[in-house]
Amino acid sequence: MKILVCISKTPDTTSKISFKENNTKFEESGVQWIINPYDEWYALVRAIELKEKDASIQLHLISVGGADYDPVIRKALALGGDEAIRINATNNDSYFIAVQIAEVAKQGGYDLILTGKETIDYNSSSVGGMLAELLDVPYISLATKVEVNNSAATVNREIEGGEETDEVSLPVVISCQKGVAEQRIPNMRGIMAARTKPLKVIEPAAVEALTNVVSYELPAPKAGVKLVAADNVQELVRLLHEEAKVI
Question: 163-189, pLDDT tens digit by residue?
Answer: 999 999 999 999 999 999 988 887 888
Nearest to 146 by CA among 156, 158, 138, 137: 156
Residue type, 214: V
Whole-number Å distance between alpha carbons of 100 and 102: 5
Whole-number Å distance between alpha carbons of 142 and 144: 6
User: What domains appear along the chain, each with residue ranges and CATH number?
Assistant: 2-220 (3.40.50.620)
Position 226 confidence tier, pLDDT thresholds 50, 70, 90: confident
Whole-number Å distance between alpha carbons of 79 and 143: 21
Does position 191 have pLDDT exceeding 90, yes or no? no
pTM for this prediction: 0.86
Q: Which residues pair with 158 in a beta bridge?
A: 163
> How many CA atoms are closer than 13 Å to the CA of 26, on its beta-carbon side?
14
Question: 126-165, pLDDT tens digit by residue?
Answer: 999 999 999 999 999 999 999 999 899 999 998 988 999 9
Average pLDDT over the chain reads 93
Q: Which residues of 85-115 are buried (b: 16+ CB within 10 A; e: fewer)?
A: bbbebebbbbbbbbbbbbbbbeeeebbbbbb
Mean local confidence (pLDDT), 10-20: 90
Does position 223 have pLDDT exceeding 80, yes or no? no
Does position 76 have pLDDT exceeding 90, yes or no? yes
Question: 33-56, pLDDT tens digit by residue?
Answer: 999 999 999 999 999 999 999 999
Contact 153, 171 (CB under 8 A): no
Distance of CA 115 to the CA centre of its chain: 6
What pLDDT, on the 0 to 100 scale, is given for residue 183? 83
Mean local confidence (pLDDT), 56-75: 95
Q: What share of the chain is helix, strand, coil (3-state, %, to 5)?
A: 30, 30, 45
What pLDDT, on the 0 to 100 scale, is given for residue 225? 85
What pLDDT, on the 0 to 100 scale, is given for residue 222? 79
Lowest mean pLDDT among 100-104, 116-120, 229-233, 241-245: 241-245
